[in-house]
């Protein structure tokens, strides 16, 4: 049995840190997109459909970044 910090331990820490830090930016981005979208709908309820469509699109792009981080974390842990 190895003593000290083993490669297994580093792998676990790396996988956890990847998704923890990588989810930070997208979380803030999604919150801002959602808040501006709701503000826009509140100011102009007639354009709600258009605003909603563009907002969902922007949300998908922002969420994709978090998914990239998640995929890297999965690769680090399981491959």
Partner 1 sequence: MEISLAAEKIGHIGSFPITNSMLLSWIVSILLIIFVMIATKKMKLVPTGIQNFFETIVEVLFNTADGVIENRNETKKYFPLVATIFLFVVCNNWLGLVPGVGSIGINEVKEGHNVLVPIFRGGNADLNTTLALAITAVISVQVFGIAAIGTIKYAKKFFNFSNPINFFVGFLEIISEFSKMISFSFRLFGNIFAGEILLMVIAFLVPYIAPLPFFFLELFVGLVQGLVFMMLTLVFIKGATSEAH
User: Of residues 12, 21, 38, 60, which one binds partner 1 by CB under 8 A?
Assistant: 60
20 lies in the site for partner 1, by CB under 8 A: no
CA distances from 43 to 32, 33, 38, 73, 75 (A): 16, 15, 9, 40, 44
- Residue labelled with tokens 């890297």: 72
Residue nearer to partner 1 on the CB measure, 4 or 63: 63
Is residue 57 within the footprint of partner 1 (CB under 8 A)?
Answer: yes
Regarding 75 and contact with partner 1 (CB under 8 A), the answer is yes
- CA-CA distances (angstroms) from residue 59 to 6, 24, 40? 39, 15, 15
Binding site for partner 1 (CB under 8 A): 49, 53, 56-57, 60-61, 63-64, 67-68, 70-71, 74-75, 78-79
């Amino acid at each position: 049995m190895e003593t000290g910090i083993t490669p297994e331990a580093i792998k676990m820490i790396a996988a956890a840190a990847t998704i923890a830090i990588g989810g930070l930016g997208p979380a803030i981005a999604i919150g801002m997109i959602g808040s501006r979208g709701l503000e826009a709908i509140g100011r102009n309820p007639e354009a709600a459909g258009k605003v909603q469509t563009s907002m969902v699109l922007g949300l998908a792009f922002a969420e994709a970044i978090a998914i990239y981080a998640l995929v890297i974390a999965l690769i680090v842990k399981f491959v």
